[in-house]
A and B are shown apart, each in its own frame.
Chain A
Amino acid sequence: MAQRRPALKPATTVFLDSSVLFTAVNSPIGGSAKLFTLSKIKLVTSPLVLAEVERNVRKKLQGYHRERFFKLAAGIKIVEQRPDDRLIQQAQKFIVEKDAVILAEAKNSKADFLVTLDKKHFLQESVKNFLSPQKVLAPKGLLEMAK
């Protein structure tokens, strides 16, 4: 029998990685978009994630997605941080190089949770150990905790 996840504490901070923010823009009916309807949590992200997502929204999606991106971004607290090259190098020991920047950003934000749709690379024991005491999970997992 599956274990029920513990409930979220009030004012829990949740760092959105690029996959979650991009997908929330791309699909209004998925778990990522639903995160924006939760009042119990505070969504945070970094200027780097916003830049990466905007770059890809402009390149890969339609014009109306850009408008949705800005609307969603307005509901996220942007943490004031710049990429930390040393932390990125450390992160590379725990995750593939392409994802090390985002992992370092999440660590640097000190948010309670990192949410990601990249199960293959982020939802690994090595990543969990690197982020501890921060937790990493998929939007579905967080939604379950918010019930």
Chain B
Amino acid sequence: MNNATLSIIPISKARAQLGNLAEKTRGENYVVLTRGGEPKVVLVDFNYLINLQKAVQAIYQKTYLDPKLLPYTREFSDSEIAEWLKEDQL
């Protein structure tokens, strides 16, 4: 379950209370600043942002998909995948 709390506040009002908003952005708590009623920027805890970036990098950095090799590869059909599973049974 996500325990993060969310605050939404117009940028025009945020200016005067930036210090307080910075205090609110601890851990997973963040503040959305709006302009004209639309979300514009988000204040997040610095360490949370760094951890988030590391997590995203870990998920996406690993790949063997080399663009030079892809033209040599092919997409497997569902029927051959099923056939391989059958053949693989011990």
**Interface, chain A (partner B; CB < 8 A):** 18-19, 22-23, 26-27, 29-32, 34, 47-48, 50-56, 59-60, 70, 73, 82-83, 98, 101, 117-119, 138-140, 143
Contact = CB atoms under 8 A, between A and B. Distances in A.
B73 interface: yes
A70 B62 contact: yes
Interface in B53-90: 62-66, 68-70, 72-76, 78, 80-81, 83-85, 87-90
Contact of B76 (A31, A32, A56, A82): A56
Nearest to A104: B72
Nearest to B77: A60
A27 B86 CA distance: 10
Contact of B84 (A22, A34, A101): A22
A51 B66 contact: yes
A31 B90 contact: yes
A117 B75 contact: no
Contacts of A55: 65, 70, 73, 75
Nearest to A88: B72
29 contacts: A18-B76, A19-B84, A22-B84, A23-B85, A23-B88, A26-B81, A26-B84, A27-B85, A30-B88, A30-B89, A47-B64, A47-B66, A47-B69, A48-B72, A48-B73, A51-B72, A52-B74, A55-B65, A55-B75, A56-B75, A56-B76, A59-B75, A60-B76, A70-B62, A101-B73, A119-B87, A138-B87, A139-B88, A140-B90
